[in-house]
């Protein structure tokens, strides 16, 4: 099953397309096309944001869900794809989201483990590209 949303978006973090499917495309890197595997987070009605690291994605979503305006949140496995389109002369951004398990629904122990992992990583290397 696959569902595509999008077109020319100026929301959803400026993705041109958001695709939900039963499987994710493989990571890829080349001159005109990159795909990076990671996690996407959405808090209430806000945009999907991509993180390469689960601990960072989970922490962002967990903090956002503490807002008085948040009624829901989701953390999903994802692939961030950027491909140069020669016809339009611009990069086309696609967010691929995996149907299924939502990482926002975790046990208290798993919650603590992810939050602790994020804080430890930031404390050890605040300039790390995984947490910038």
pTM of the predicted model as reported, rounded to 2 decimal places? 0.81
Could you tell me which residues come within 8 angstroms of residue 21 by beta carbon, excluding any fewer than 6 positions away? Answer: 1, 2, 3, 96, 97, 98, 99
Residue-by-residue pLDDT tens, the chain, 132 positions: 445 554 444 445 689 999 999 999 999 999 999 999 999 999 987 889 999 999 999 999 999 988 888 888 999 999 999 999 999 999 999 999 999 878 888 888 998 999 999 999 888 776 655 544
- The rounded distance, in Å, linking the Cα atoms of 114 and 122 is 12
pLDDT value of position 8: 44
CB environment 75-103: b (16+ within 10 A), e (fewer) = bbbbbbbebeeeeeeeebbbbbbbeeeeb
The Cβ of residue 130 has, within 10 Å, a number of other Cβ atoms equal to: 14
């Amino acid at each position: 099953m696959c569902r595509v949303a999008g077109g020319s978006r100026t929301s959803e973090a400026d993705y041109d397309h958001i695709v939900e499917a039963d499987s994710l495309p493989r990571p890829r890197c080349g001159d005109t096309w990159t795909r990076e595997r990671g996690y996407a987070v959405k808090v209430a009605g806000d945009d999907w944001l991509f993180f390469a690291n689960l601990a960072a994605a989970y922490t962002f979503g967990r903090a956002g869900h503490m807002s008085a305006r948040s009624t829901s949140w989701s953390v999903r496995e994802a692939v961030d794809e950027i491909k140069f389109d020669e016809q339009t002369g611009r990069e086309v951004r696609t967010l691929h989201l995996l149907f299924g398990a939502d990482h926002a629904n975790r046990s208290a122990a798993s919650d603590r483990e992810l939050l602790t992992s994020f804080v430890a990583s930031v404390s050890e290397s605040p300039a790390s590209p995984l947490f910038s």
